[in-house]
A and B are shown apart, each in its own frame.
Chain A
Amino acid sequence: MADDTVSGRSDITLGDAYLAQVKTKRLMNFIMLVIFLALLVSGFHTADSRNAGGFWDGLSNIFDFPAAMFSEAIERAPMMPGYLVKYFPSLIETVNIAAAATLVGALLGLLMSLLVTRGFAPVPWLVSPLRRVLDILRAIPEIVIALVLIFMLGGGPVPAMIAIALHSIGALGKLFSEVNENASLKPVEGLSSVGANWTQRMWLGVIPQVAPNYLSYALLRFEINIRASAILGFVGAGGIGYDLRNTMSWGVGKYDEAAAIFILLFLTIVVVDQFSSLLRNRLTHGAANTQVTV
């Protein structure tokens, strides 16, 4: 503003111009908002018309199913602990699918991230093609790979694990490479000056810098993968999702077991979320006090 007054234009015209500009901007924003809301409303309308049941009809019986489920669960409350024990092994399988997939995804994602970060990549011309590979891995929904693999390998945890791991490689590879870009090159240069090879430069020069961030992202991925693992079970890939589908397709009479599975799933997700966010907080903020300070 200050230089404009120097340029000789009077404050009044300048103020008017500014206000006019603000006014048009606000008008534009308002129009955009109206268009956006109109699109949203018409979108919901379209979705409603293409849905099997209408929104307003459905809204009145939205609590029917939860109510039926919980009344059955309460009716047979003494059997609940038994169900929780019965489905616990499936829960472990779901968690294992997620954990193994996250681990595989993180390890291969780590390798990929080093291969696609300019400055670290041992084969520079591979950077672009490998980035596209990561993009594609990230874009494929897990369920697509899982369904195709189930056709070839049969049901069970392995197709789910591979499907989630592939997606995790794509997601973590990209996040890790973003972390790598912020890593200092000095340790790498120092190591190469003493004749370290690529593996040593990465292992000793880069990984220690980025490990906390990597871990934090991997934990976040684990949270996401638990949910994915439960969903894939629902399409036949084992774990608690598979049990849930079986009890659900049984219908009335097994709703109490469905309720038990809901509870197990809910508790697992909440506990893992809390635990991982605690750990992530420590990784990003609390790690400093373990260092030796001079």
Chain B
Amino acid sequence: MNSALLQTATVAQFSRRKRITIAVPLVILAYFVYIFVSFDVAGLSERINVNNARTLVSDSYSYKTHVAQDNRDGSIAISVEGERKGEYPQGTAPDWVSLGDTTVVDLGEGHIITFGAEVSYDIPGYGVVTARPDGTGVNAVFPDGDLPDFINASKNRVMIATDAGRFTITRARAEVFKYSFGWELFFFTLDSPYYGMGPAHLAEKAFSGEAGAIWQEFWTNKMWRHGDVFWALFETLLMASLGTFGAAIVALPLAFLAARNFTPLGTLRFAARRLFDFLRGVDGLIWTIVLSRAFGPGPLTGALAILLTDTGTFGKMFSEALENVDEKQIEGVASTGAKPAQRYRFGVFPQVMPVLLSQVLYYLESNTRSATIIGAITGGGIGLLLTQAIATQKDWEEVTYYIILIILLVMAMDTLSGWLRRKLIKGDEGGH
């Protein structure tokens, strides 16, 4: 190649490069504009539900305690998150509520609510709001002047939302929500004898022979259901590992059929390869739907869905690995008079096993995520608990808890699979 020709070629290539560096960002930009329009991103600001977002975020790290008075008989009920499972037993209350003929709720910073036939809320910097609910309405009396933004009042309903809490009164009911930081009742529910004990006290109890009982109380916690959550995580893990390893076992013999150097028969090879393409192409979603029709929801359905999809994936990968096998080792083994089975055992397997195992273990981590997703679709494992918690639209602290558990599970599987890959592959090299 002479230098003039080389120069023109180089210049041509440079200008081509230049055009590409300008064109590619432009194309990407144009595509984003198209997406912006077709996904109606501009309309998102109208659709976004700020209230939902606020509840979600605040709920994920705090809990609310409801103090409610039945205005007809004057009875008081106190419960965490307003759930029956989180009710304080009759006659007991958190320290900011003083029970009596007139129950007084101290929300802190001077916010005092007094229950009774006449309900009053002393709002610092504003004044005292009183209400005498009866058959005609709530009969609320406000300090003079216009109602501030944080009060929403009508004849039969008054709602006051301050930073300290939220107060609602209707003809039948007066209710206060107090928001507090943390996940209350995470370890023990209110009916448990161990509720409110410090770690030191608990350890002391545990050493004096109550360890089993303490564990039992924790494990069967009705609010957080640690036992059920553990089983759900286990189911998800089961789906992932059964699917992955099952697929590997099914795919291995099929991969030999699809590998050019092991199956000279074209039709057989073609059939195996199309089978892999089909299994992969149908995809986990459709397999999940079809299988859940036959087997119903549960971990087995999820495991089989992963198994089918990954048989396709592994089959393809394994057969590619088998086609890259070094023939010399097999010839060497054959030259010692080895029978076909022995040729595979000593000529092929030692070569491909580390590669295949590494691929399988790599998928174990990604299948843990798939198992969560499949569980959410069919109903099984932690995915089911997650969708249930989201569907209630109020248990966001549980959603947060599950998300943290899922992340930890996937990361643990990632670490485990990385460790196993290093160990198995290194161990194999050492053995030969």
Interface residues of A (CB under 8 A from B): 25, 36, 40, 43-44, 46-48, 50-55, 58-59, 61-62, 64-66, 93, 96, 99-100, 103, 107, 135-136, 138-144, 147-148, 151-154, 156-158, 161, 227, 230-231, 234-235, 241, 244, 248, 262, 265-266, 269-270, 273, 292, 294
Contact = CB atoms under 8 A, between A and B. Distances in A.
Contacts of B372: 141, 143-144
Given A51-B295, A241-B285, A292-B6, A270 B31 contact: no
Interface string B262-301: 0000000000000001001111111001110111111111
Given A47-B300, A154-B48, A161-B35, 8 more contacts: A50-B380, A53-B296, A135-B414, A143-B373, A143-B376, A156-B39, A244-B289, A266-B286
Interface stretch (B131-139, B215-223, B237-245): B237-245
Given A25-B431, A143-B376, A154-B49, A47 B239 contact: yes
A139 B414 contact: yes
B283 A269 contact: yes
Nearest to A228: B373
B92 interface: no
A47 B303 contact: yes
Contacts of A51: 295-301, 380
B39 A230 contact: no
Contacts of A47: 235, 238-239, 242, 298-300, 303
B416 interface: no
Interface in B287-344: 289-291, 293-301, 303
Interface of B: 1, 6, 9-10, 13, 28, 31-32, 35, 38-41, 44, 47-49, 52-53, 56, 235, 238-239, 241-242, 245-246, 249, 277, 280-286, 289-291, 293-301, 303, 369-370, 372-373, 376-377, 379-380, 383, 386-387, 390, 393, 399, 403, 406-407, 410-411, 414, 431
Given A53-B294, A64-B294, A227 B399 contact: no
Contacts of A55: 295, 300
Q: Is chain B's interface secondary structure helix, strand, loop, or mixed overall?
A: helix
A140 B414 CA distance: 12
B296 A151 contact: no
B298 A227 contact: no
B286 A262 contact: yes
B31 A152 contact: no
A294 to B, nearest CB: 7
A240 B31 CA distance: 20
B282 A266 contact: yes
Contacts of B383: 141, 143
B373 A136 contact: no
Contacts of B295: 51-55, 58, 62
A151 B406 contact: no
Contacts of A103: 28, 31-32
B269 to A, nearest CB: 18
A147 B294 contact: no
Contacts of A227: 283-285
B332 to A, nearest CB: 16
B13 A292 contact: yes
Contact of A141 (B6, B282, B296, B369): B369
A264 B380 CA distance: 28
A148 B399 contact: yes
A48 B286 contact: no
A231 B284 contact: yes
Contacts of A52: 295-298, 379
Contacts of A156: 39-40, 47
Nearest to A66: B290
A62 B291 contact: yes
Contacts of B277: 270, 273
A294 B303 CA distance: 56
A68 to B, nearest CB: 9
Given A40-B245, A51-B300, A139-B410, A46 B293 contact: no
B285 A152 contact: no
Contacts of B285: 227, 230-231, 234, 241, 244, 265
Contacts of A64: 293-294
B411 A269 contact: no
Contacts of B282: 262, 266
Contacts of A143: 372-373, 376, 383
A147 B35 contact: no
A100 B35 contact: yes
Contacts of A54: 295
Contacts of B406: 139-141, 144
A103 B33 CA distance: 13
Contact of B38 (A96, A107, A135): A96
A46 B239 CA distance: 10
B40 A53 contact: no
Identify which of A62, A139, A142 gathers the most chain B CB atoms within 10 Å of its CB. Answer: A139
A293 to B, nearest CB: 8
A266 B280 CA distance: 9
Contacts of B300: 44, 47-48, 50-51, 55
Nearest to B285: A231
A52 B235 CA distance: 13
Contact of A273 (B245, B281, B390, B403): B281
B284 to A, nearest CB: 7
B373 A141 contact: yes
A262 B293 CA distance: 15
Contact of B39 (A59, A144, A154, A161): A161
Contacts of A262: 282, 286
A96 B38 CA distance: 9
26 contacts: A43-B238, A46-B238, A47-B300, A48-B300, A50-B235, A50-B298, A51-B301, A52-B379, A59-B294, A96-B38, A103-B32, A136-B407, A139-B414, A140-B407, A147-B376, A147-B387, A152-B56, A227-B285, A235-B387, A241-B285, A244-B289, A262-B286, A266-B286, A269-B280, A270-B277, A294-B6
